[in-house]
Amino acid sequence: MRGFQVSRRRFLGMTALAMTATGTAKADTNHEAVVIGTGYGAAVAALRLGQRGIRTTMLEMGQLWDEPGPDGKIFCPMLNPDRRAMWFKDRTEAPLETLLGLPIVNRPIERYAGVLDKVHFAEMAVYLGRGVGGGSLVNGGMAVTPKREYFEEVLPDVDADEMYGKFFPLANKTLRVNTIRPAFLESTSWYQYARTARRQAANAGFGTQVIPNVYDFAHMEGEARGTKPKSALAGEVIYGNNHGKMSLDKTYLADALATGNVTIKTLHHVKRIQQHQDGYLLTVEQRDPFGKLLNTKKISCRHLFLGAGSLGTTELLLRARDNGDLPNLSDEIGRGWGPNGNVMTARTMIGGFQQSGMPVLAIDAWQDHEVFAEIAPVPAGVETLASLYLAITKNPERGTFHYDRGTDGITLDWRREQMKPSIRAVRGVFDEMNRTNLSTYRPDLFGIGKVFSDDFTYHPLGGCLLGRATDEYGRVRGHKNLYVTDGSLIGGSIGANPFVSITALAERNLSRITATDLNH
Question: Which of the residues are catalytic?
Answer: 374, 459
SS (H, E, C) 358-389: CCCEEEEEHHHHCEEEEEECCCCCCCCCEEEE
Number of amino acids touching ligand FAE (CB under 6 A): 39
Q: Which of residues 149-178 bind ligand FAE (CB under 6 A)?
A: none
- The reply on whether position 61 binds ligand FAE by CB under 6 A is yes
Contacts of 29 by beta carbon, 8 Å cutoff, 6+ apart = 299, 300
Question: Judged by CB under 6 A, which of 65, 75, 112, 127 binds ligand FAE?
Answer: 127
Which residue, 363 or 437, is less far from ligand FAE as judged by CB?
A: 363
Q: Which CB contacts under 8 angstroms, 24+ apart, belong to 267-271?
A: 267/20, 267/60, 267/61, 267/62, 267/63, 267/113, 268/23, 268/59, 268/60, 268/61, 268/297, 269/59, 269/61, 270/36, 270/59, 270/61, 270/308, 270/316
Distance CA 191, CA 220 (A): 12
Q: Report the residue count for the chain.
A: 520
Q: Are 316 and 400 in contact (CB under 8 A)?
A: no
Largest Cα separation within the chain, whole Å, is 68
- The reply on whether position 392 binds ligand FAE by CB under 6 A is no
Please report how close the Cβ of residue 507 comes to ligand FAE at its closest, in angstroms: 12
Contacts of 129 by beta carbon, 8 Å cutoff, 6+ apart = 39, 62, 115, 116, 117, 135, 136, 137, 138, 139
Please report how close the Cβ of residue 138 comes to ligand FAE at its closest, in angstroms: 5
Q: Are 356 and 232 in contact (CB under 8 A)?
A: yes
| Helix spans in 248-344 (H) | 252-258, 309-322
- The reply on whether position 305 binds ligand FAE by CB under 6 A is no
Q: Which of 191, 179, 190, 175 is nearest to 135 (CA)?
A: 175
- The reply on whether position 235 binds ligand FAE by CB under 6 A is no
Q: Which of residues 66-85 bind ligand FAE (CB under 6 A)?
A: none
Where are the strands (E) in 414-481, listed by range? 452-453, 456-457, 461-463
Question: Judged by CB under 6 A, which of 12, 28, 35, 41 binds ligand FAE?
Answer: 41
Question: Judged by CB under 6 A, which of 194, 498, 508, 514 binds ligand FAE?
Answer: 498
Q: What is residue 489's DSSP assignment?
A: G
- The reply on whether position 62 binds ligand FAE by CB under 6 A is yes
Binding segment for ligand FAE (CB under 6 A), chosen from 35-43, 72-80, 215-223, 291-299, is 35-43
Binding mask 178-217 for ligand FAE (x = CB under 6 A): ----------------------------------------
Binding mask 451-490 for ligand FAE (x = CB under 6 A): -------xx--------------------------xx---
Question: Judged by CB under 6 A, which of 12, 34, 36, 256 binds ligand FAE?
Answer: 36
Binding segment for ligand FAE (CB under 6 A), chosen from 133-141, 196-204, 407-415, 440-448, is 133-141
Which residue, 241 or 437, is less far from ligand FAE as judged by CB?
A: 241
Q: Are 321 and 404 in contact (CB under 8 A)?
A: no
Question: Judged by CB under 6 A, which of 175, 308, 426, 510 binds ligand FAE?
Answer: 308
Half-sphere exposure of 53 (CA within 13 A, CB side): 4
- The reply on whether position 419 binds ligand FAE by CB under 6 A is no
- The reply on whether position 139 binds ligand FAE by CB under 6 A is yes
Binding segment for ligand FAE (CB under 6 A), chosen from 105-113, 286-294, 304-312, 462-470, is 304-312
Q: For binding to ligand FAE (CB under 6 A), which residues are involved? A: 36-42, 59-62, 127-130, 134-135, 138-142, 238, 269-270, 307-310, 312, 316, 458-459, 486-487, 497-499, 502
